[in-house]
């Protein structure tokens, strides 16, 4: 069996007395119709590291109908930095399965599923089973394929990742903006990226290219070499004139830090809920959290 399900047994689209009590405060914010929309949507969440745990927590507490936690990865020591859904004494090795029990405890009204099959092994139409797909901790080529499949089947998509104290997310919910690989073009080639972009854009482009070339994220055990490689990549961009500007950023891109996963996780979950309730802010498609400037910024790229 690749999946394990905990079912709430409720009727889709109807709010029970228990749900009305549990969601009382948020119903005051977005009304009964908004909560009913939330309670009818099915979410696929890919990647159950710290960022995935934050997103799962926020969406489960909000009261979506179901959420599938999809991850084929085993627990590692790095998960102890920010993955709070996995019990310290968990006997499960897979991250999704290990997160299931605590995720379900957050809200018994939500159907929570653990799926340990790799997203790469799924058929193209797999995403069509869901209303929202949130992809995290994937390699750029996988993000690209997920984006193409979601666009083809008109499924709302969010792509998000965290690198130390830095993080970003991309949304494709109007199906009118550029695809992921058009926003970050040529991340798998030694060619130039677009000019007139904010600093976090170039940093993200460098991190994506690093992943393509190294087949991994930057890691603490190899920080000096990884920083040197990232500086080399950034220096190769035609429009970069002062590489020293990035020094403060490059030293803080390792592991997943809880403050960053909390910020990005909240931003992604809020954006997804806005989409579910037809409150999409469609004048942006990228969000960067700049940990040096201590601020988050939305851009339309």
Tell which of 210, 229, 250 closes a domain.
250
Q: Between 101 and 275, where is the model more confident?
A: 101
Q: Are residues 129 and 276 in the same domain?
A: yes
Which stretch of DSSP H or E encloses residue 114?
A: strand 111-115
Task: List Cβ<8 Å contacts ≥24 apart for 78-82.
Answer: 78/49, 78/255, 78/256, 79/49, 79/50, 81/50, 81/255, 81/256, 81/257, 81/258, 82/49, 82/50, 82/51, 82/53, 82/54, 82/256, 82/257, 82/258, 82/261
Tell which of 216, 232, 250 closes a domain.
250
- Classify residue 41: in a domain, yes or no: yes
Q: Are residues 17 and 86 in the same domain?
A: yes
Nearest to 38 by CA among 75, 66, 63, 1: 63
Mean pLDDT for 146-167 is 94
- Classify residue 13: in a domain, yes or no: yes
Per-residue pLDDT at 1 exceeds 70: no
Beta-carbon neighbour count of residue 300 at 10 Å? 11
Per-residue pLDDT at 8 exceeds 50: no
Q: What is the CATH number of the domain that holds 25?
A: 3.40.50.720
Pair of tokens at residue 282: 């469609």
- Classify residue 193: in a domain, yes or no: no
Q: Between 85 and 237, where is the model more confident?
A: 85
What pLDDT, in 10s, does the model give residues 74-83?
A: 998 888 878 9
Mean pLDDT for 288-295 is 88
Q: Are residues 203 and 278 in the same domain?
A: no
What pLDDT, in 10s, does the model give residues 87-103?
A: 988 889 999 999 999 99
How many domains in the chain? 2
Per-residue pLDDT at 236 exceeds 70: yes
Q: Are residues 112 and 220 in the same domain?
A: no
- Classify residue 127: in a domain, yes or no: yes
Task: List Cβ<8 Å contacts ≥24 apart for 179-187.
Answer: 179/144, 179/147, 179/148, 179/151, 180/143, 180/144, 180/147, 181/140, 181/143, 181/144, 181/147, 183/285, 183/286, 183/301, 184/140, 184/208, 187/140, 187/212
Residue numbers of the domain that contains 240? 199-250
- Classify residue 266: in a domain, yes or no: yes
- Please give the pLDDT value at position 153: 96
Q: Are residues 292 and 152 in the same domain?
A: yes
Tell which of 214, 235, 250 closes a domain.
250
Q: Are residues 140 and 160 in the same domain?
A: yes
Q: Between 82 and 226, where is the model more confident?
A: 226
pLDDT band at 193 (very low <50, low <70, confident <90, very high): low
Query: Among residues of the chain, what percentage have pLDDT more than 70?
Result: 90
Per-residue pLDDT at 57 exceeds 60: yes
Per-residue pLDDT at 177 exceeds 90: no
- Rounded Cα–Cα distance for residues 261 and 288 (Å): 12
Per-residue pLDDT at 155 exceeds 90: yes
Beta-carbon neighbour count of residue 160 at 10 Å? 27
Beta-carbon neighbour count of residue 198 at 10 Å? 14
Q: Are residues 260 and 245 in the same domain?
A: no
Q: Which of 37-51, 190-204, 259-273 has the lowest mean pLDDT?
A: 190-204
- Classify residue 22: in a domain, yes or no: yes
- Please give the pLDDT value at position 12: 44
Q: Are residues 57 and 141 in the same domain?
A: yes
Q: Are residues 146 and 210 in the same domain?
A: no
Q: Are residues 203 and 163 in the same domain?
A: no
Mean pLDDT for 239-251 is 85
Query: Among residues of the chain, what percentage have pLDDT more than 90?
Result: 56
How much is the mean pLDDT over the chain? 87
- pTM of this prediction exceeds 0.85: yes
Q: Are residues 90 and 211 in the same domain?
A: no
What pLDDT, in 10s, does the model give residues 97-129?
A: 999 999 999 999 999 999 999 999 999 999 999
- Please give the pLDDT value at position 186: 57
Q: Are residues 262 and 242 in the same domain?
A: no
- Please give the pLDDT value at position 209: 92
């Amino acid at each position: 069996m690749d999946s394990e399900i905990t079912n709430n047994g409720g009727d889709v689209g109807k709010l029970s007395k228990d749900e009305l009590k549990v969601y009382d405060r948020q119903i005051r914010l977005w009304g009964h119709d908004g909560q009913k929309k939330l309670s009818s949507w099915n979410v696929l969440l890919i990647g159950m590291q710290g960022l995935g745990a934050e997103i799962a927590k926020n969406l489960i507490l909000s009261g979506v109908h179901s959420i599938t936690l999809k991850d084929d990865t085993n627990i590692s020591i790095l998960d102890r930095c920010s993955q709070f859904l996995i019990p310290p004494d968990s006997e499960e090795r897979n991250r999704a399965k290990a997160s299931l029990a605590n995720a379900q405890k957050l809200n018994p009204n939500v159907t929570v599923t653990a799926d340990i099959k790799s997203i790469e092994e799924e058929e193209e139409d797999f995403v069509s089973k869901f209303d929202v797909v949130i992809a995290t901790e994937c390699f750029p080529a996988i993000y690209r394929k997920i984006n193409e499949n979601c666009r083809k089947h008109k499924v709302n998509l969010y792509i998000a990742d965290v690198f130390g104290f830095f993080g970003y997310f991309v949304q494709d919910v109007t199906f009118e903006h550029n695809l992921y690989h058009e926003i970050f073009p040529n991340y798998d080639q030694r060619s130039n990226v677009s000019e007139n972009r904010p600093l976090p854009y170039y940093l993200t482009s460098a991190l994506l290219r690093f992943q393509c070339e190294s087949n991994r994220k930057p890691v603490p055990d190899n920080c000096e070499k990884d920083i040197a490689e990232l500086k080399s990549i950034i220096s190769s961009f035609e429009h970069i004139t002062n590489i020293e500007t990035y020094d403060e950023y490059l030293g803080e891109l390792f592991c997943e830090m809880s403050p960053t996963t909390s910020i990005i996780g909240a931003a992604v979950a809020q954006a997804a809920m806005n989409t579910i309730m037809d409150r999409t802010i469609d004048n942006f498609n990228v969000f960067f959290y700049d940990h040096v400037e201590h601020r988050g910024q939305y851009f339309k790229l």
